[in-house]
């Protein structure tokens, strides 16, 4: 399979350093890093972990300084990839079996999806009944019984949250923001929201599936995912390589090999271990406690990536005003 192919590439004399900025959890990276060391013993691969916002800020600052500190990126969503592509910092890489990719990718090779995050709803099964709670994004914003006790991430700082409000706007219009505002939704980071769910301060939250899954597996948490009846919002996260003009180590060969590896079955196995879904159609295994990827894909709310970039400011502003107005 793919793994042996990669090994072959490796034997063809890769070397040097590769620095990868990623928003994947440190623990996950540690595992992946160990595997990579075996796969590419001659390449010195380093990860820099940061939240999406932190990384984007760091990258922006580095671009303004004239040089990036990395060679590859595994962060944010396709809209961010589109943006970077536009700024001319990415290197096109043609990978071999793109046919196996179940998700959209850049045909010129500037970015490929490498992991799938799903925006879902979650509640505390130890405290509430699923039946008593909203089961759709729509109800989440309109069911008064949870008013004041719901929470979501900040679209200003989180890429996936922005994608979510973009998708929901396309589906329900800007009224959806007003509805959220009326519900007195709390805007906070995922970790805080999860804690609130545990303590019962919140009844239901809008959150990435992987956060819940991880908590369930590691902490035996009773927090449970609700796949919204009006569709899950699926956010593929891209893998990108930086071109020689901007990259830290000018190691395109290695970057290419690493990209191949991540997209391979072997690489995807590691992604799934990190509670995210695989991008390959031939690797259907879902993460711990999740429903199969295909199941999810049956009912999704699509995100228009180009539009998300284009209307970013407008959506953020509208969202903020809607939320702030109903303090």
Partner 1 sequence: MRSSANKVSNLMEHQKWFLDPKWIIIGLIVSFLLIFQVFPLLYLVFRAFFSTGKFSLEAFKRVYTYPLNWEALTNTLITASLSMVFGVLIAFPLAWLVGRTNLYGKKFFRTLFVATYMVPPYVGAMAWMRLLNPNVGTLNVFLQKIFNLSSAPFDIYTIGGLVWVLTGFYYPYAFITISRAMEKMDPSLEEASRISGANPLTTLRTITLPMMLPSIVAAALLVFVAAASSYGIPSIIGLPGQIHTVTTRIIDFVYIGSQEGLTDATTLAVFLMVIANIVLYISTFTIGKKQYITVSGKSTRPNIVDLGKWRIPITAVVVIFALIVVIIPFISVALSSITVNLGEPLSKANMTFRYWERIVTRKSILSSARNSLVSAVLAATFGMIISGMMAYLLVRTKVKGRKIPDFMITVGSGTPSVVIALSLIMTMSGKFKINIYNTLTIMVIAYMIKYMMMGMRTVVSALTQISPSLEEASQISGASWLKSLKNVTLPLIAPALVAGWFLIFMPCFYELTMSTLLYSANTKTLGYELFTYQTYHNQQTASALATAILVVVFFINWLLNKLTDGEFSI
Question: Closest distance between partner 1 and the C-beta of residue 266, in Å?
Answer: 24
Question: Closest distance between partner 1 and the C-beta of residue 186, in Å?
Answer: 4
Which of 230, 253, 285, 321 contacts partner 1 by CB under 8 A?
321
d(CA 287, CA 293): 9
CB nearer to partner 1: give 101 or 309.
309
69 touching partner 1, by CB under 8 A: yes
Question: Closest distance between partner 1 and the C-beta of residue 55, in Å?
Answer: 8
Which of 120, 194, 226, 315 contacts partner 1 by CB under 8 A?
194
32 touching partner 1, by CB under 8 A: no
* β partners of residue 234: 118
CB nearer to partner 1: give 7 or 316.
316
16 touching partner 1, by CB under 8 A: no
51 touching partner 1, by CB under 8 A: yes
x/- site string to partner 1, residues 197 to 236, per CB under 8 A? xxxxxx--------x--xx--xxxxx--------------
CB nearer to partner 1: give 26 or 104.
26
Beta carbons of 264 and 114 less than 8 angstroms apart: no
Question: Closest distance between partner 1 and the C-beta of residue 277, in Å?
Answer: 18
Which of 59, 234, 240, 255 contacts partner 1 by CB under 8 A?
59
56 touching partner 1, by CB under 8 A: yes
d(CA 90, CA 47): 18
Interface positions, 100-129, toward partner 1 (CB under 8 A): 124, 126-127
């Amino acid at each position: 399979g793919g793994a042996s192919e990669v090994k072959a590439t490796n034997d063809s004399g890769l070397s040097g350093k590769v620095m990868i900025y990623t928003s994947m959890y440190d623990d996950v990276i540690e595992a992946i890093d160990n595997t990579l060391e075996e796969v590419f013993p001659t390449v010195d691969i380093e990860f820099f972990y940061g939240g999406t916002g932190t990384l984007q800020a760091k990258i922006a600052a580095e671009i303004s300084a004239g040089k990036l500190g990395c060679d590859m990126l595994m962060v944010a969503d396709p809209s961010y990839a589109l943006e970077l592509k536009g700024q001319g910092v990415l290197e096109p890489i043609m990978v071999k079996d793109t046919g196996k990719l179940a998700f959209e990718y850049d045909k010129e090779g500037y970015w490929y999806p490498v992991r799938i995050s799903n925006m879902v709803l979650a509640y505390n099964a130890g405290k509430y009944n699923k039946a008593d709670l909203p089961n759709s994004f729509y109800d989440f914003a309109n069911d008064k019984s949870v008013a004041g006790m719901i929470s979501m991430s900040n679209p200003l700082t989180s890429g996936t949250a922005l994608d979510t409000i973009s998708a929901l706007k396309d589906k329900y219009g800007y009224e959806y923001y007003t509805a959220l505002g009326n519900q007195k939704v709390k805007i906070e980071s995922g970790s805080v929201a999860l804690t609130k769910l545990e303590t019962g301060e919140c009844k239901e939250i809008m959150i990435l599936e992987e956060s819940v899954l991880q908590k369930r597996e590691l902490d035996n948490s009773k927090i449970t995912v609700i796949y919204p009846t009006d569709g899950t919002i699926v956010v593929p996260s891209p893998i990108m390589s930086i071109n020689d003009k901007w990259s830290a180590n000018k190691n395109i060969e290695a970057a290419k090999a690493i990209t191949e590896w991540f997209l391979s079955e072997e690489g995807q196995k590691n992604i799934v271990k990190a509670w995210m879904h695989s991008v390959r159609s031939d690797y259907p295994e879902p993460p711990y406690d999740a429903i199969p990827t295909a199941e999810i894909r049956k009912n999704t709310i699509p995100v228009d990536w180009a539009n998300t970039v284009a209307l970013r400011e407008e959506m953020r502003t509208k969202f903020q005003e809607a939320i702030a107005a109903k303090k």
